[in-house]
Amino acid sequence: MQYPEPIAKLIDSYMHLPGIGEKTATRLAFYTINLPQADVDQFAAALQAVKRNLKYCSICGNVTEDDPCQICRDQSRDQSKVIVVEDSKDVMSLERMNEYHGLYHVLHGVLSPMEGKGPDDLNITALVKRLQTHPTITEVIVATNATPEGEATAMYLSRLLKPAGIKITRLAHGLAVGSDIEYADEMTLYKAIEGRQEI
C-alpha cells in the first residue's frame, strides 16, 4: 500500500534535508499531519521568509537580512583579522564565544573533489579581492573543520594567500577540554601534540 500523494511528497521533501532518512522523514510527515493548522502555517511562513528575506553579504558571504551584514558594518570590530569559516553557522558558533571581535569570511563549503567541489565553487575569489582592497587585514585565521576536506582547503588557502605577505594561521586542533587521552583517536592525539604550547 502506498501513502496518499500529499504524504508521499511531504516525506520526499523531508528526505531532502541532510541526515534525514526515510524512517525519520515518515515520522516527521505524520507529526506534521497532527500539528494544529496554525503551527503548520507558521512553519510554512518561516520557510518562505528565510528564502525570501535572507541573502549573502556581498563582503563576507555570511547570511544576512541587510547587505552588508551587521558584522561587516561594525567599525568597532578589529579590522586586522579575518576568520575564514566553512558555513554561516560557524560564524554564529564563534560569536557565541564572545571572545573574538574581528571579521569573518564564509566559504560556503570546502574543497571536495569527490563531490566535484573545486576552488571556483567556493567563496575564495571574494576573499582574495577583499584582502587586496583592505590593506588593514594583516591576519587570516583559517577555521575549517578538522576533516580531510577541511585540511585540504586550509592548505590551499595557505598556499594561495601567503605570497601576499599576510599572516596565515590555523585554529588549533586536539583534545577537547575535559576529555581523556585514552578515548582520543590517533588524529586527535597527533593534532594535540603538533599544536602543543609552552607553559
Per-residue pLDDT of the chain (199 residues; tens, 9 = 90+): 789 999 999 999 999 999 999 999 999 999 999 999 999 999 999 999 999 999 999 999 999 999 999 999 999 999 999 999 999 999 999 999 888 999 999 999 999 989 999 999 999 999 999 999 998 999 999 999 888 899 999 999 999 999 888 999 988 877 777 777 777 778 777 777 777 766 5
**pLDDT value at residue 188:** 77
Q: How confident is the model at residue 197, as a pLDDT? A: 65
Euclidean distance between CA atoms 94 and 60, whole angstroms:
15
Question: C-alpha cell of 43?
Answer: 512553519
Pick from 166, 6, 157: which is nearest to 84 by CA? 157
Residues 46 and 86 in one domain: no
Q: Which amino acid is at 58?
A: S
8 A C-beta contact, residue 94 and residue 85: yes
Identify the CA nearest to 119 among candidates 80, 79, 90, 161. Answer: 161
- The domain in which residue 111 lies consists of 77-169
**Same domain for 126 and 47:** no
Contact 12, 2 (CB under 8 A): no
Whether residues 153 and 95 share a domain: the answer is: yes
How many structural domains is the chain composed of? 2
Same domain, 93 and 161: yes
Distance (Å, whole) CA 152 – CA 20: 27
* 181 within domain boundaries: no
| Alpha carbons 13 and 156: distance in angstroms, whole number | 36
The reported pLDDT for the residue numbered 14 is: 96
Distant-in-sequence, close-in-space partners of 75: CB < 8 Å, separation ≥ 6: none
